[in-house]
């Protein structure tokens, strides 16, 4: 997609999100659009940065490390989220690169993030990812282990749990999963609920999303080969 096409889509998408929130939304403050820039070119990212959009997400450490440090140096307002699975041995890079780690899903990872955040003197903002469809191949904490992980992470200094995140099962209606997520968010009284992608963000907003993560609906099909 061209620079101008992306900018036009961005304007339209913001209107759609606003309308969805006004008509069916549950969250009380404005929905945050997270632009998912994995496998998108710098040129595509620039189309959004030039419109003063500052919230972005990547799913791989190596790719984020290649793309974002230079962009960040230009725009101090950028807020970068990690939305892909994180190995404990990559915690150092993740803490260095990301403002928010949305994929905290186990105590060992909380330990690794804590150690690194302590070392560099940062308070690392995190969301807990829930494997809401209980799919064996997916990361995320099992719903029955959410409370204990939440308590575990809250007891650590240098980590702050701000919200919950999920990717519902691909071939099922997402609504029952969004409802469960909203229930957990209310139960834990957390401010953020990250759910909804290009295909289901309107429904996610109707079920309480505070953050929607949108890639292809904004920037078209992903082009750039993933950096290994």
Ligand X SMILES: *Cc1c(COP(=O)(O)O)cnc(C)c1O
Nearer to ligand X, 25 or 168 (CB): 168
44 touching ligand X, by CB under 6 A? no
- 85 close to 77: Cβ distance less than 8 angstroms: no
Rounded Cα distance, 48 and 194, in Å? 20
Count of chain residues binding ligand X (CB under 6 A): 13
Nearer to ligand X, 39 or 114 (CB): 39
Nearer to ligand X, 74 or 221 (CB): 221
Site string for ligand X, 132-171 (x = CB under 6 A): -----------------------------------x----
216 touching ligand X, by CB under 6 A? yes
User: What are 187's two structure tokens?
Assistant: 């139960």
Among the listed residues 38, 60, 81, 106, the single contact to ligand X using CB under 6 A: 38
The 10 Å Cβ neighbour count of residue 145 is 16
- 64 close to 80: Cβ distance less than 8 angstroms: yes
Name the residue number minimizing CB distance to ligand X.
215
In order, the DSSP letters of 31-100 are PEEEEE-TT--HHHHHHHHTTT--EEEES-HHHHHHHHHHHHHH-TT-EEEE-S---GGGHHHHHHH-SE
Nearer to ligand X, 33 or 206 (CB): 33
Among the listed residues 80, 83, 86, 130, the single contact to ligand X using CB under 6 A: 83
Rounded Cα distance, 228 and 221, in Å? 19
Non-local CB neighbours of 43 within 8 Å, separated by 6+ positions: 3
Site string for ligand X, 48-67 (x = CB under 6 A): -----------x--------
Min. distance of Cβ 200 from ligand X in angstroms?
A: 9
Binding site for ligand X (CB under 6 A): 36, 38, 59, 83, 167, 197-199, 213-217
């Amino acid at each position: 997609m061209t620079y101008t096409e992306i900018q036009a889509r961005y304007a339209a998408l913001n209107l759609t999100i606003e309308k969805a929130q006004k008509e069916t939304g549950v969250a009380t403050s404005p929905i945050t659009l997270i632009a998912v820039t994995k496998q998108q070119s710098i040129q595509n990212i620039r189309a959004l940065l030039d419109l003063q959009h500052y919230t972005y997400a990547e799913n791989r450490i190596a790719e984020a490390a290649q793309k974002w440090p230079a962009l960040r140096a230009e725009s101090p307002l950028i807020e970068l989220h990690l939305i892909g699975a994180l190995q404990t041995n990559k915690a150092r890079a993740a803490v260095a690169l990301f403002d928010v780690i949305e994929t905290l899903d186990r105590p060992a990872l909380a330990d690794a993030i804590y150690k690194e955040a302590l070392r560099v003197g940062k308070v690392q903002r995190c969301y807990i990812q829930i494997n809401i469809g209980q799919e064996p191949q997916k990361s995320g904490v099992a719903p029955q282990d959410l409370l204990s992980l939440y308590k575990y992470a809250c007891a650590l200094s240098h980590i702050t749990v701000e919200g919950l995140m999920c990717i519902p099962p691909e071939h099922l209606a997402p609504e029952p999963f969004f409802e469960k997520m909203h229930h957990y968010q209310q139960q834990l009284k957390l401010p953020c609920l990250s759910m909804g992608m290009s295909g289901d963000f309107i429904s996610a907003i109707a079920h309480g999303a505070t953050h929607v993560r949108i890639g292809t609906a904004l920037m078209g099909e992903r082009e750039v080969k993933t950096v290994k």
